[in-house]
Amino acid sequence: MKNTKTLMVSGSLMAVVAFGGACLAADVGVDRQAVENNALRGGGTALQGVGRENSSSAKSATSDTGTQRIVMKKNAILEWDGGVGFSYYYRSNPLNTNGDLAKNVRSGVFEVSAYGTVSGGNYELFGGVYTPRAGYSLQNISLTERSIKFANYLSQRVFVSNELRFDNLFSITPTFEVSNITSTEFGTEDYKEFFPSVTFAKILPIDDVSSLRLAYTTGYRFSSVDSLGGTVPGLTANRLDNWTNSFSGVYARELPLGFVWQGFVDVSNRLFGNGQNRDRSDWLKTVGGSLSYTWKFLRVAGFLTYSQRSSTDVINDYKNLDLGLSSSVFVNF
């Protein structure tokens, strides 16, 4: 942005999505990738809360993977920010399933999201600037198709991150987070997870109004899901544990009249090793874009996202298209 007081929230959203009930045996259904896409496409509120860029980074790079916000610099060590978002969009495969069900079930999605983060100041460390940060986020998904209301869910996440930024716009961010998924129809906790990870990111300024952000994230997901009391072989409580490696690229460009265009691609691999998922490998590929406009503390956006999962266990394959609008309100103090 031309305004040097720009905040960019980076990274993929690590809130987790899992789905039980009728799809429990295959561990298909609503996949966590659908939630992570929210951060990439710019739909709804960006919940990752990974980092306040310093003013030099903000000046050099138009955007990154999250909501842009105004930073009000103060002398206080602690800085707080938060926001709420609302989205409505069409989803071509709301259960993220393969086969006939994926062809026949479509739904509108109403999404409510919120987040809050606190930053603990900036400190010189290893020739860079170190910023500790903690936060909480939630995302509530309500499907308009009555026949699949059982898949409505609430995702919550608490994280602590330690970002180290350098003058060359390179950053390293170790993150520790705990998240869970609760069925809003049945009131049951269907999934919970502990995810330690580290992200390496580089912002490449292209010109005064555009930039490219490249990132690599690696980490291990320690999960817990329903094991059905151990009555079904292979349905262990940790069967969704996996090693995740993700590569993403986001191109952002400031357009006339204050609009911002973002195009992105994300490719990730997940290696499972427990229970019925032993030796399972998933490739998740996502591509999309968003057009947004920010006025003071209000942001509106239109977005399109296409995602595909290819698994060594073909029952877990799926394709999905999201198309819709979002709005968000945010504050900093």
Residue 217 has pLDDT above 60, yes or no: yes
Is the pLDDT at 250 greater than 80? The verdict is yes
Q: From residue 69, give the alpha-carbon distance in Å to each of 74, 131, 315, 328.
A: 15, 18, 41, 11
Q: What is the mean pLDDT of the chain?
A: 80
Dump pLDDT digits (tens) for 79-131: 899 999 999 999 999 999 887 666 778 999 999 999 999 999 888 999 999 99
- pLDDT tens string 39-69: 444 443 333 333 333 333 333 333 333 333 3
Query: Alpha-carbon distance 81 to 92, whole Å?
Result: 34
For residue 100, give the DSSP letter: H
Average pLDDT of the residues in 150-159: 96
Please tell me the predicted confidence (pLDDT) of residue 98: 87
Instruction: Name the residue ranges covered by the structural domains of the chain.
Output: 6-332
Pairing between β-strand 153-165 and β-strand 107-119 as defined by DSSP bridges: unpaired
Residue 76 has pLDDT above 50, yes or no: no
| Cα distances (angstroms) measured from residue 145 to each of 21, 89, 170, 210 | 17, 12, 44, 39
E-state strands within 208-241: 210-225
Mean pLDDT of the 274-278 span: 92
More confident residue, 57 or 216: 216
Kindly report the pTM of this predicted structure.
0.79
Of the CA atoms within 13 Å of residue 188, those in its CB half-sphere come to 11
Joined together, the tokens standing for residue 94 give 């709301």
Are the C-beta atoms of 181 and 35 separated by less than 8 Å?
no
Residue 6: predicted pLDDT: 32
Which one is the CATH code of 6-332: 3.90.740.10, 3.40.47.10, 3.40.1190.20, 2.40.160.40?
2.40.160.40
> What was the pLDDT predicted at 331?
82
Tell me the average pLDDT across 15-31.
Answer: 35
Q: 202 versus 47: which is more confidently predicted?
A: 202
Question: Residue 129's pLDDT is what?
Answer: 92
Averaged pLDDT, 235-261: 95
Parallel, antiparallel, or unpaired for β 170-183 and 189-207?
antiparallel
Band of residue 72 on the pLDDT scale cut at 50, 70, 90: very low
Out of 194-203, 223-232, 241-250, 252-261, least confident range: 223-232
